[in-house]
Every structure is written in structure tokens, then in C-alpha cells.
Amino acid sequence: MAELTYRDAVAAAIAQEMRRDETVVFLGEDVAWAGGVFKTTVGLLDEFGEKRVRDTPISEQAIIGAAMGAAMTGLRPIAEIMFSDFFAVCWDLIANQIPKTRYMTSGQVIMPLVIRTANGGGVRFGAQHSQSIENWAMMIPGLKVVAPSTPADVKGLLAASIRDDDPVIFFEQKSLYADKGEVPDGEYVEELGKAKVLREGTDATIIALAAMVPRAMKAAERLQAEDGISASVVDVRCLVPLDTQTIFAEIRKTGRAFTVEENPRLCGWGAEISSLAMEECFWDLDLPLIRITTPHIPLPSADALEDEALPSVERIYNTVREGLD
């Protein structure tokens, strides 16, 4: 095991798959010579050269269009969109073209394409560079959606995404890039569509994703220490495919569930999980599911206002404690 940062795990996963498979190529803005604007791809150009690691013009449509064409003709491209907010610029390709190609060709054309992007708030980039948009991607049939919370999951899930024959949107939460964690040495691949129970509890189930996972863990530890409340914490990890089996098992165990999501409240992924749980776990619930979200507002750049908008450890703790009263 090696200790890597979340950002270094990105480069480790890409390098692992590029060494394994010469059809894996990588393109995006400043990903080669600069090593990525968030320094997530340092060293890849030196090892794999300009033919396989390519800087592109500042054009999201060109990046995704080139990646789509490469995927259709035998390569396994990884495309980086610097900020997830800029998906809006190339949304026709992401929503209308890429996810439908395999379906419309009856499987004759596969789309082994990964789109990596820095997602979410917490680093004071303001309304146009801090959105959490995994719910945008989740609603499009034909896309797989992954959002890891730890360096180990970054490496394992990104490797699995690169090997997958379907298009995968891989959301890297930018406030986690400096976080460190143990990552398995050698070739390491996780399975897409598997949630992970990080903490076992008996009184409540907290369901979280990406940057909300460590906050949920801290809130659960505080609930135990200060109030004697035993809370499970489930890291969703993949929104599509969604591991309802693991999530529902934890909800049934405690009968009380809370989702913690960085998405704005309207149409967030927690609403979908809540709806499914009401259909599948209704008779096991002691309380309605409670969602902890960002308000339905553009995210502010001022420190205090951004901190107030995003779900905090304090808000998670208070909401769970009050919800169980």
C-alpha cells in the first residue's frame, strides 16, 4: 500500500491503464505539458509521449467530439473537461450523441469513453466554477456516473471506467484533491456500481457521495460521541449503476435514513434514492427519508456564504439528531 493524494491517484489510474492497453489515449486542456490545471496528470506526457497525451485548444466541443470519434474507431479515450460547469458548452454531445450511439447501432459501435472533470464547491471558485452537476449526467440514459471520495476509489473506479465499453462520466470533487489515503500497489481495479458501507450503525443511515462522505463520517462520529446515536455511513460511489441492494439493506437495518448531497435541492440524486426507498422499503421505515442538500441557489464565492450553502458537518449532525427526536 502507498499513501497517495486524491490528485495523484488520478494519474496513477491513467498510467496503469495506458501501460496495460496501448489504445488508451488522453486529451484535454493543459493536461500534457502543464500536468493539468489541478496537477492531476503530472508525468503522463513524459512517460507516454505526445501521441497519446495531447493538449487541446480551449474548446469543450472539440475535446468531446474528438474523443467520441476516437472511441467509435477503436481507441479508448479519456477526455478531460477542466470544470464540470463547462459540460453546458458541449452538452449536445454528452446528452444526445455519446450515450445513444451504441443503442442506435444495435451494439455495432461501442463507446468506451471516459469524461473526467473537476466537480463541486469548497474552493471559492464562485457560481460558474463550483457547481455539483452529477444529477445532470445521472438523468441521461446510456451514461454511467461515478464520483469517488477517496484516493483508493479514484484509482480503482477510474481504472474500471477506462475498461468499460460504455461512456462513463467521472466526477472528481475538486476540494478533495489534496486529501491523502492508502492506495493498493500494482494493478488495482474496483467494480462499478457498488456502494460501500464505511461505518456500521443501528439508529440511522447516512447516505453520501464524494466530498459529503468525509463530512458524513465526522458527523456520525460526533453523533456517537455526544449523543450515543449509532449511524451507518454509506458511500454511494456510483450513481449509475446505482447499488440499491447495499443502500436499501442499510436503510432497512436502521429504519431511518438521511441523504447528504452537494447538489442543489431541486432534482438532486438524493430525491431519486428517497423515491426508490419509499417504494421498496416503505414498511421498514420508521421516519420519512430526510434530504440534506445545498439550497437551490447559485453557489457564492464568499467564504462564509459558500460554507453556509454547502452541507457541513454541523448541519449533518444537527439534522440527524433533530430528525431522530
Angle 161-164-167 (CA atoms, 0-180°, nearest 5)? 75
Residue 1, pLDDT > 90, answer no
Residue 41 cell numbers, joined: 496528470
Angle 64-56-175 (CA atoms, 0-180°, nearest 5)? 75
Span 301-307, mean pLDDT? Answer: 94
Say whether 129 is catalytic. yes
Q: pTM of the entire structure?
A: 0.97
Residue 23, pLDDT > 90, answer yes
Taking the CA atoms of 135, 116, 110 and 238 in sequence, report the sign of the dihedral they define: negative
If you ran DSSP here, which 8-state letter would residue 213 be given?
H
Residue 65, pLDDT > 90, answer yes
Q: Report d(CA 7, CA 280) in Å as an integer.
A: 37
Task: Out of 7, 52, 116, 129, pick the active-site residue.
Answer: 129
Look at residue 19 and give its three-state secondary structure: helix
What's the chain's Rg over C-alpha atoms? 19
If you ran DSSP here, which 8-state letter would residue 34 be given?
T
Backbone angles phi, psi at 137, to 5 degrees: -75, -35
pLDDT of residue 223: 98
Residue 307 Cα distances to 15, 27, 39, 206, angstroms: 35, 33, 25, 20
Residue 238 Cα distances to 145, 196, 229, 252, angstroms: 6, 10, 27, 20
pLDDT of residue 325: 84
Beta-sheet pairing, 204-208 with 257-264: parallel
Domains of the chain: which residue ranges? 2-183, 196-324
| CATH superfamily assigned to domain 2-183 | Thiamin diphosphate (ThDP)-binding fold, Pyr/PP domains (3.40.50.970)
**Quick check: do 2-183 and 196-324 share a fold?**
yes
> Is the separation of the CB atoms in 21 and 78 below 8 Å?
no
pLDDT of residue 147: 98
Beta-sheet pairing, 196-199 with 231-235: antiparallel
Q: Report d(CA 190, CA 160) in Å as an integer.
A: 6
> Is the separation of the CB atoms in 292 and 259 below 8 Å?
yes
Residue 304, pLDDT > 90, answer yes
**Each residue of 147-168: pLDDT tens digit?**
999 999 999 999 999 999 999 9
Q: Report d(CA 69, CA 27) in Å as an integer.
A: 13
Beta-sheet pairing, 257-264 with 238-240: unpaired
pLDDT of residue 266: 95
Class of domain 196-324: alpha beta
Percent of the chain with pLDDT over 70: 100
**Each residue of 233-288: pLDDT tens digit?**
999 999 999 999 999 999 999 999 999 999 999 999 999 999 999 999 999 999 99
Span 92-105, mean pLDDT? Answer: 97
DSSP 38-73: TS-STTHHHHH-TTTEEE--S-HHHHHHHHHHHHHT
Span 135-150, mean pLDDT? Answer: 97
